[in-house]
Amino acid sequence: MNTIGKILVLLNFLFAIIVGALVVMVAATGNQWKEAYFALKREADIMKIGRDQDQNVRNKILAEATKEKLDNEQLKLKLKEQSDQFGVTEDTYRLQIATLENTNKEVQITLAQAQAALKRTADEVTLLKGTLTERELLIINLEAGIAKSNLRAQNFEQIARAHQLRNENLTDELRAITLAYTRLKSGVNPDAMAIRNPNDPNPPAVKVEGKIEKVEGDLVLISLGTDHGINKHNTLDVFRLQPDSKYLGMVRIVEANHHSSVCRLIPSGNPAFRPQLKTGDVVSSKIR
């Protein structure tokens, strides 16, 4: 074998060794790659699972974020409504505070006026107390003067009654003297007792007219007395004006006072005719 053949054999041997080494290397590398593939695949699966979990977590977080966003929007709306309501309430409170302040000022002014009026009233009360004290003293003095005047009036009234009684006695004496003089002048014994019919008219010397104020049986109370010019035993005619003018009869005075008298109805000759006297009937010394 020549040198070239030896070289070729050596080259083939080297090539075989290199190819074997390469095959061994390729096989080893393939196993490594396979293991790396499976490792990478396992890592990829793990990463996929992690990515899915991360996606779920992210979706959950997004959902929660969306919900929180909606909640925040609702809270913002509620906060805005509360803010608006608070603004309205604040304005209302401010208006009420301003009204209360004005009312307080008015109350203070009214209180000041009331205090001033109270002071004036107290001053007036003090003045009135002084005036009342003076008037009480004046009333006491006036009452004392009235008591004295009443006493003097009673004394004067007693004196007047005494004078009136004296005048009545003098009038009776004058009437008796006049009657005795008339009898004496006519030739009748003045000491003889005159027999007179009690039912005969005996009108007063003056013209009078009054009314019946009260009726009790045959007795009536009239509004005429000695001050009007009538006396005991005088007679008066009675008549009624309403509804028609009517003569009722005659009454005789049985008791005469100053302003009133008690009279008795004189029975008429006809027993069937007995007038019923009433309050308001007119009594007169002469029928008109």
> Phi-psi region for residue 280, left (φ > 0), alpha (ψ -120 to 50) or beta?
left
pLDDT of residue 194: 45
Tell whether 133 is covered by a domain: yes
Based on the fold, state whether residues 168 and 254 are members of the same structural domain. no
Based on the fold, state whether residues 169 and 73 are members of the same structural domain. yes
Tell whether 225 is covered by a domain: yes
> Phi-psi region for residue 112, left (φ > 0), alpha (ψ -120 to 50) or beta?
alpha
> Most confidently modeled of 52-61, 123-132, 177-186?
123-132
The residue segments making up the domain with residue 245 are 197-284
Based on the fold, state whether residues 113 and 124 are members of the same structural domain. yes
Round the average pLDDT of the chain to a whole number and report it. Answer: 81
pLDDT of residue 128: 87
Q: Do residues 236 and 250 lie in contact, with contact meaning Cβ atoms separated by under 8 Å?
A: yes
Domain end (from 145, 166, 195): 195
Based on the fold, state whether residues 75 and 41 are members of the same structural domain. yes
pLDDT of residue 172: 58
Based on the fold, state whether residues 177 and 222 are members of the same structural domain. no
Using CA atoms, how far apart are residues 214 and 194, in angstroms rounded to an integer? 34
Instruction: Name the pTM for this structure.
Output: 0.34
Based on the fold, state whether residues 55 and 85 are members of the same structural domain. yes
Tell whether 84 is covered by a domain: yes
CA 53 to chain centre: 85
Neighbours of 238 (CB within 10 A): 24
Based on the fold, state whether residues 140 and 155 are members of the same structural domain. yes
pLDDT by residue (tens digit) across 203-212? 888 889 999 9
Whole-Å CA distances, 178 to 174, 182, 184, 193, 197: 6, 6, 10, 15, 20
Per the structure, the count of domains in the chain is: 2
Domain end (from 147, 180, 195): 195
* Nearest-5° Cα angle at 187, 183 to 188: 50
Based on the fold, state whether residues 98 and 155 are members of the same structural domain. yes
Q: How far apart are the first and last CA of the chain?
A: 216
Q: Do residues 275 and 234 lie in contact, with contact meaning Cβ atoms separated by under 8 Å?
A: no
Tell whether 253 is covered by a domain: yes
Tell whether 14 is covered by a domain: no
Q: What is the mean pLDDT of residues 142-170?
A: 72
Using CA atoms, how far apart are residues 209 and 138, in angstroms rounded to an integer? 46
Based on the fold, state whether residues 116 and 158 are members of the same structural domain. yes
251 or 33, which is more confident?
251
Band the pLDDT of 197: cuts 50, 70, 90.
low
